[in-house]
Amino acid sequence: MKHSLTSKLIVSIFAVAIIYLVIAATALTKFGLEDEKQRALEQQEKLIKTVSASASIAAYVGNEDIAAEVGESLLLHPEILSVLIRSNDDFSYQADSSLERDIQADFKERYSYPLFSPVDNLSIGEIQLVLNQELLNEKAYTEVREQTQLLFSQTLLLLIFTFIMIRKIVGQPLKRVASQLSTLRPGDNTKLSLHASHHNDEIGLVTDSVNLFVESSTQALRTERDLREKISYMEKHYRNVLEQAQIGTFVLDHEMKLVKGNEVLFENIEKHLEFTPSDIIGRNLFQLFDEAQGWALSQQVLESQEPQSKEFAVKSRHGETLYVQAVLSVYRGSSPDTYLFEGVIYNVTDRVIKEQHALQLAQVDTLTGLKNRLGCQAFVDSLPVTKPNEASSLAVMLLDLDGFKSINDTHGHAAGDEVLCIVARRVSNQVRKKRDVVSRLGGDEFAVLLSCSDENIDIVNKIARNIISSVSLPIHLKQGDTVSVGVSIGVAFGQGSQFEQSLAKADKAMYHVKKNGKNDVYIAQS
């Protein structure tokens, strides 16, 4: 056969293998050399770290013996041609390898590393290395060449094995099946013969499928007719179910324009939004809710090829906020570019309101009305995400009342609760309303979260001082007694993602205040 499938497959695999080898060899050459050079630099840095302490001492005290030991240890590595240790006080020591004079200047690379005082860690000089770039290049090229040769050998062996297997497993059996197929005629009861070794593979599947097709054509037509009747019945059934459950159904074209919808959809839109069917047919349905999020939902459906859902908030004509859940799927036609969106939409306002109310209750301290620890965490989670190396974005204040226990013991827990409520109001009055959060973590322990960096330490310190002054004012209880409390404050700066670590630092800072006189503020070191 002039253009057999096996030959085409082998040629294609061979072509792909050649392209792969060219690309892989090019990549190995380029990135392999870079990796080897990078590895050499990393090795050099490790060597410098190993001897930096001794070199620093040599430069600091001007000791040539120590410098000589450092130079000799570094020159044991053949890629290092010369070592120069130099201090800011004019001390210098240089050691050269025997190869230094034989290497051309073009193949010498000079690197400098700072030396720091072993006493106060200030810069006192530098250590310079001259590398044998010719030797490093030779090592890199050797490594890349060996990897490339190994890649070529592996690919060649794999190609040979693949060619043999394709001809034996695919080519010859397909040729036998094709020869038999050429003899079949419509209405002929002759079946394709099948070798026993192919009963459970693709060749057997093709053969059985052809034989089954000949036998089942009539049965297929009858089955199709029965299925049409069942589908028609099920469509009516589910249409009734959706209407009784007040679930709207709709069909959108590829531009998200409404093609059709059921009565439930139109009735609810007219009831809550004052749009008639004629107003919205041919329009983007999600313009009624949130067009941008509607487009985003459609893109998710197209990319995943699976149904996707999204919750939308809608302002009704009466000014109420309604919540609806939309489920969208894609139906593709015969052409890949031809498709429609199918979906359902239903009212979930009651569920959302209950969830919001439950979440709000779960995040509020019932005594003071402040956020509790869960609410505190929710605020932190809402902060913009920062990278690990970025500046701090959150100041965490941990407050613990001084003298509160004696009020509880002397005046009772009701008085203690009253004090906590008054303290909560006083602390809240000292923070920035829209940027900061005050929470009660439990007992007489409060937390203040301030959206700012450690560059604003003066602002944070001022707020903390204001809190101490406000909380320390006399408290007049309803029962007629006057009491007072102090407050110890620990502060730590960090990122929102490090809230627990910042809280722990603030806790240590607060106990530092407790141990040193109380009623003060201490800011933990970053």
pLDDT tens, position by position, 19-36? 877 787 777 777 766 777
Helix (H/G/I), strand (E/B), else coil: 80: strand
Give me the pLDDT at residue 322, please. 86
- Reported in sequence order, the residue ranges of 192-247 that DSSP labels E, i.e. its strands, are none
- Structure tokens that stand for 377 in this block: 């965490």
pLDDT tens, position by position, 381-402? 877 765 555 545 789 999 999 9
Quickly count helices (H) and strands (E) in the chain. 14, 16
Q: Which residues contact 299 (CB under 8 A, 6 or more apart)?
A: none
Lowest mean pLDDT among 20-29, 237-246, 354-363, 418-427: 237-246
The H or E element that residue 132 is part of is strand 123-132
Q: Residue 55 and residue 71: Cα distance in Å, rounded? A: 9
108 compared with 153, residue with greater pLDDT = 153
Q: Residue 314 and residue 349: Cα distance in Å, rounded? A: 10
- Reported in sequence order, the residue ranges of 248-348 that DSSP labels E, i.e. its strands, are 248-252, 258-261, 308-315, 321-332, 339-347
Lowest mean pLDDT among 212-221, 366-375, 472-481: 212-221
Q: Is 187 left (phi over 0), alpha (psi -120 to 50) or beta?
A: left
Give me the pLDDT at residue 237, please. 54
pLDDT tens, position by position, 91-100? 888 888 776 6
CB 518 within 8 A of CB 510: no
Rounded to the nearest integer, the mean pLDDT of the chain is 81
Residue with tokens 């192919």: 198
Q: Which residues contact 506 (CB under 8 A, 6 or more apart)?
A: 396, 397, 398, 447, 490, 491, 492, 524
Q: Residue 8 and residue 1: Cα distance in Å, rounded? A: 11
Mean pLDDT of 358-368: 84
Percentage of residues in the chain with pLDDT exceeding 70?
83
Mean pLDDT of 40-66: 81
Instruction: List the Cα angle 177/179/180 in 5-degree steps.
Output: 65
Mean pLDDT of 279-298: 86
pLDDT tens, position by position, 368-383? 999 998 888 888 887 7
pLDDT tens, position by position, 165-195? 777 777 667 767 766 666 666 556 666 676 6
Residue 275: φ, ψ to 5°: -110, 135
Lowest mean pLDDT among 118-127, 233-242, 335-344, 381-390: 233-242
Task: pLDDT band for 484, please (50, 70, 90 cuts).
Answer: very high
Closest CA to 398 of 373, 365, 361: 373
The H or E element that residue 494 is part of is strand 486-494
> CA dist 156 to 14, 21, 161, 362, 435, Å?
10, 10, 9, 66, 66
Given a cut of 80, is residue 323 above it in pLDDT? yes
DSSP 496: G
Any idea of the CA torsion for 522, 524, 525, 526, to the nearest 10 degrees?
Answer: -140
49 compared with 31, residue with greater pLDDT = 49
Percentage of residues in the chain with pLDDT exceeding 90?
22
338 compared with 173, residue with greater pLDDT = 338
Q: Residue 509 and residue 522: Cα distance in Å, rounded? A: 6
Q: Residue 322 and residue 314: Cα distance in Å, rounded? A: 5
pLDDT tens, position by position, 226-270? 777 777 666 665 555 555 556 888 888 888 888 888 888 888 887
* Ordered alpha helix ranges (H), 385-456: 404-411, 413-429
Q: Residue 493 and residue 455: Cα distance in Å, rounded? A: 10
CA-based torsion, 269, 271, 274, 278: positive or negative: positive
Q: Residue 399 and residue 450: Cα distance in Å, rounded? A: 13
Q: Residue 400 and residue 471: Cα distance in Å, rounded? A: 11
Q: Is 241 left (phi over 0), alpha (psi -120 to 50) or beta?
A: alpha
> CA dist 220 to 21, 209, 231, 241, 351, Å?
50, 14, 16, 31, 47
Give me the pLDDT at residue 160, please. 81
Mean pLDDT of 462-470: 95
- Structure tokens that stand for 149 in this block: 């040769």
Give me the pLDDT at residue 520, please. 95
Task: pLDDT band for 221, please (50, 70, 90 cuts).
Answer: low
Given a cut of 80, is residue 53 above it in pLDDT? yes
CB 521 within 8 A of CB 427: no
